Structure 1
C-alpha cells in the first residue's frame, strides 16, 4: 500500500463521528472491549453520563462496531481488533493519525471542548 492509499484509508475511516469518538477513547485508554467502547461512544454522542446508556440504545451500536466501524479502523491501520476476545487496541497507529485527531479533538471531543 502506498502512502496515498494509506491517507485515503485513514480519511475514510475518520469520516464517521462514532469512529473518531472511539479513537479518542482508545488514545486515552489504550484498549477496550467492544461493549465498553460502544457504551462510551453512545454516552458522548448523546451527551449523557455513561451509566444512563441503556442496553436497547447500546445493542445497535455494538453491532455497527462489530460489522463496520472496527473493520474500517483496522483496515486503515488505526487499531488492532481481536474478534475472538472482542478487545480493541490503539497500538502503533500510522504517524499521520495522531496529528489529524489532535486538530479535530478541540472541535468535537466531549472532554476537550
Structure 2
C-alpha cells in the first residue's frame, strides 16, 4: 500500500489516532464545509488531496452562489477549516504545497459515516 492510500480498516489501537471528546467531534462536524471535507476523504480511496481539489469538491456540493467566490472559499479553507481540522489531529495541512493528508481514525470515521447517512435531502 502506498503512503497516500487509506487502509481498509483504521487501526483502533494506533497511538497516532486522535482521541477526541464528543464536544470536539460535534464542533468539527457542525460546519457544513468541514463535514463535506470529511465526506470527501471518507468516500475516496486516497488520503491526500490538494486545496484546489477540496475547493472543487465543495463547489460541486453547494450552489456556486452559496459556496461563494472560489478565492473566498480557498481563503476560508486555508485560514479556518483546515487549521481547525489539523489542530484536532484529523488531517495534516501543508501550507507550502497546499496538500491535505487525512488521518482517519475509527471514532471519526464512524461519526462521519453516521452524519453522512443522516443527511436530509433537499
**TM-score, normalization: structure 2?**
0.70
As a proportion of its length, which structure holds more helix? 1
SS of the residue aligned with 1:84?
coil
1:60 and 2:75 correspond: no
Q: Structure 2: how far apart are the matches of 1:94 and 1:76?
A: 12
Q: Structure 1: how far apart are the matches of 2:109 and 2:47?
A: 13
Unaligned runs of 5+ in 2: 1-18
Q: Structure 2: how far apart are the matches of 1:58 and 1:39?
A: 9
| Residues 19 and 87 of structure 1: CA distance in aligned 2, closer, same or farther (over 3 Å) | same
The equivalent residue for 1:6 is 20
> Aligned match of 1:33 in 50, 59, 67?
50
Contact 1:9 1:75 in 2 (8 A): no
Matches within 5 A, 1:71-110: 71-91=83-103, 93-108=104-119
Unaligned runs of 5+ in 1: none
User: Which protein, 1 or 2, shows the higher relative CO under an 8 Å CA cutoff with sep ≥ 6?
Assistant: 2
- The Cα RMSD (Å) is 2.4
| Residues 109 and 32 of structure 1: CA distance in aligned 2, closer, same or farther (over 3 Å) | farther
Contact 1:26 1:89 in 2 (8 A): no
The equivalent residue for 2:8 is none
| Residues 40 and 109 of structure 1: CA distance in aligned 2, closer, same or farther (over 3 Å) | farther
Aligned length: 98
Contact 1:32 1:88 in 2 (8 A): yes
| Residues 74 and 68 of structure 1: CA distance in aligned 2, closer, same or farther (over 3 Å) | same
